[in-house]
Amino acid sequence: MTDDVAIKVEEVSKTFKLPHEKNSTLKSAVINFYKRDRGYDKQQALDNISFEVKKGEFFGIVGKNGSGKSTLLKILAGIYSPDSGNISVNGKLIPFIELGVGFSPELSGRDNVFLNGSLLGFSRNEMKDMYNDIVEFAEIERFMDQKLKNYSSGMQVRLAFSIAIRAKSDILLLDEVLAVGDAAFQTKCFDYFAQLKQSDTTVIFVSHDRGSLERFCGRGILLNDGDIIAQGDIKSVLKEYDKIVMGQLEGSSKTSEQEEKPEKELKQNKSAQIIKVKTYGENKILKNKFNYGETIWIDYEARINEDLVNPIAGVTIWKKNVERPIFATNTLIEGISKTGSFKKGDKIYFKTQLPGHINDGEFYIDAAVSSESGAFVYDEVNNAREFFISGSDNPYSLVSSSSKAVFLKIEPNDNKS
């Protein structure tokens, strides 16, 4: 391995055995042994992966859920061992697979600091020297002698993070640490990343977040079903990633031959069939990436398979990781209660516009056609299409309001009157 390489991964493969029913008792192990039916599926999580990370690089690993990202990271960290292949690490490596590893809810914050520090390789004396800085940075001085279980999750994350950033190592592994914490905490994270980028530390960063990947990483790899399908400059890697994500979404509605067959079978018991949900902008060009403030049109057609009167058509828009829909409408809500009579073979067309100023995020569309009363759903397609909004200057709330805020000072006298 040449000197400027921090991590070299050569032809690494990893297969998981997924037992149908885990042999966690001796009895089932014995029984299954005699049956010769080991009863597991093999899942190839990584298939012959090779790449190199140079020293001082901020290296991104991108991929959908289940593409093998976390497995790769855990193999790099030495938590899983690969079935075959070789990994050489040049320098001291600290895995931040997660923040607050080893935190014990029954111990005080103070005890947890020392325990966590020892996992990062610090002695008790070194921790004592750093202790005040850590507590100050986490902003929880008052709570240090309370048990961790009484901390809010935000406090726990702040504490874990302020210990973690003390870690001195040549290589850091970061796994979606940004997914936790509030806006203020994320800002701290970003500051820390910016510092890391300036320093000589090699960072391997696994994330879904396009923004932070693009901002910090120079190079990266794209994993799909355990294969590296793109590597190099992070921008080109992210472009390929978009293709996968979109190909997956369009695949569910686009390809006529593949999709048509199951549809035909299903059709018999569906009175209506939603054909394709599309999103497009003002210029009628189909797309699923929008700038903040841009008009977003959603439409679909549905095929009618038996005579219907006054069906209701509608859509629901979900934001990723938000429990309630951010927007929902249908013909009834829009005031079209009499949509008319339809005969077998007719088509309906439904179109709506996303209101207002929705802030950055990933969104999903559910579409449904139901009977006049709403009691019977003719067809329902969940996650029919995904789209993205970016470019808002206030990405922390769901929507931005154009209304002007009012701010005044109220004198005590005014209150009395």
Partner 1 sequence: MLKRLFSKQNRVLLAELVRTDFKLRYQDSVLGYAWSLLRPLLIFVILYVVFVKFLKVGSGTPHYAQYLLFGIVIWNFFVEMTMQSLSSIVGRGDLIRKIKIPRWIIVVSSSVSALINLLLNLVIIAIFMIVGHVTPTNLVFLLPLLLLEVYLFALGVSFFLSAAFVKFRDISYIWEVCIQAGFYLTPILYPLSRIPNLLLQKIMLMNPLAQALQEARYVLITKQSTVPGSVFHGSWYQYIPIILVGVALFVGAYYFRKQSKYFGENI
> Binding residues for partner 1, per CB under 8 A?
16, 23-27, 29, 74, 77-81, 95, 97-98, 101-102, 104, 106-107, 111, 114-115, 117-119, 121-124
What are the structure tokens assigned to 233, written together?
A: 């400059």
**Pairing, β 327-330 against β 308-309:** unpaired
Residue 298, judged by CB atoms within 10 A of its CB (0-12, 13-18, 19+), counts as buried
Of 6, 95, 12, 100, the C-alpha closest to 59 is 6
> What values do phi and psi take at 57, rounded to 5?
-85, 150
DSSP string, 240-268: HHHHHHHHHHHHTTS-HHHHHHHHHHHHT
Nearer to partner 1, 99 or 244 (CB): 99
Question: 271 in helix, strand or coil?
Answer: coil
Provide, rounded to whole angstroms, the least separation between the CB of residue 77 and partner 1.
6
Nearer to partner 1, 114 or 131 (CB): 114
**In the 3-class helix/strand/coil scheme, how is 274-300 assigned residue by residue?**
EEEEEEECCCCCECCEEECCCCCEEEE
Nearer to partner 1, 81 or 268 (CB): 81
Provide, rounded to whole angstroms, the least separation between the CB of residue 219 and partner 1.
25
Nearer to partner 1, 117 or 181 (CB): 117
Provide, rounded to whole angstroms, the least separation between the CB of residue 2 and partner 1.
25
Assess contact for 54 and 7: CB atoms under 8 A: no
**Torsion over CA of 127, 133, 138 and 139, rounded to 10 degrees?**
130
Distance CA 148, CA 409 (A): 40
Provide, rounded to whole angstroms, the least separation between the CB of residue 25 and partner 1.
5
Nearer to partner 1, 24 or 268 (CB): 24
Nearer to partner 1, 93 or 246 (CB): 93
Provide, rounded to whole angstroms, the least separation between the CB of residue 139 and partner 1.
25
Provide, rounded to whole angstroms, the least separation between the CB of residue 232 and partner 1.
29
